[in-house]
């Protein structure tokens, strides 16, 4: 069974997050400890798996969906340079075991 993480609690509305975008597939919110002027996290609202290491033939599309949502978000924001990162496993620096994509940019969001 998948362990309940802080990101489950954000999705369930139990704890607040600084949300910047949401649709039926994805939630994008600000990282609480930003490592760049823009540091966002993208999570799937539909499928929860702990990590990239847990992807299967059935769930592999989540990774592409998160990357594509990041690309669309960047376009809407007029951000043309950014980094996308998955931390995989404890030794890969992963702390929260709810699959998420980091979006980092030196460029600020439009409203900041
Ligand atoms: P990772 O190392 O890939 O597991 O990254 C987890 C990220 O989640 C870290 O960059 C944390 O700063 C971030 N984080 C942890 N708790 C929260 C929270 N409540 N709201 C937003 N970001 C968080």
Task: Assign 104 to helix, strand or coil.
Answer: strand
For the chain, counts of helices (H) and of strands (E): 2, 5
* Residue of minimum CA distance from atom 8 in ligand 1: 31
What confidence category does residue 47 fall into, taking pLDDT thresholds of 50, 70 and 90?
Answer: confident
Q: What domains lie within the chain, and their CATH numbers?
A: 6-105 (3.30.428.10)
In this prediction the pTM is 0.97
Could you tell me how far CA 60 lies from the centroid of its own chain?
15
Task: Name the residue with higher pLDDT: 47 or 101.
Answer: 101
Name which of 69, 35, 63 is nearest 51 in CA terms.
63
Phi, psi of 102, deg, nearest 5: -85, 135
Residue 1 has pLDDT above 60, yes or no: no
88 lines ligand 1 (CB under 6 A): no
67 lines ligand 1 (CB under 6 A): no
Say which DSSP state 35 is in.
S
Task: Assign 30 to helix, strand or coil.
Answer: strand
């Amino acid at each position: 069974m998948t362990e309940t993480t802080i990101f489950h609690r954000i999705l369930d509305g139990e704890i607040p997050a600084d949300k910047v975008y949401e649709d039926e597939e994805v939630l994008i919110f600000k990282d609480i400890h930003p490592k760049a002027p823009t540091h966002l996290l993208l999570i799937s609202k539909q499928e929860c798996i702990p990590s990239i290491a847990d992807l299967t033939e059935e769930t592999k599309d989540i990774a592409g969906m998160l990357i594509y949502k990041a690309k669309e978000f960047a376009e809407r924001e007029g951000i043309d340079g950014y980094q996308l990162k998955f931390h995989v496993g404890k030794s890969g620096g992963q702390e929260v075991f709810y699959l998420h994509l980091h979006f980092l940019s030196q460029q600020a969001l439009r409203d900041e």
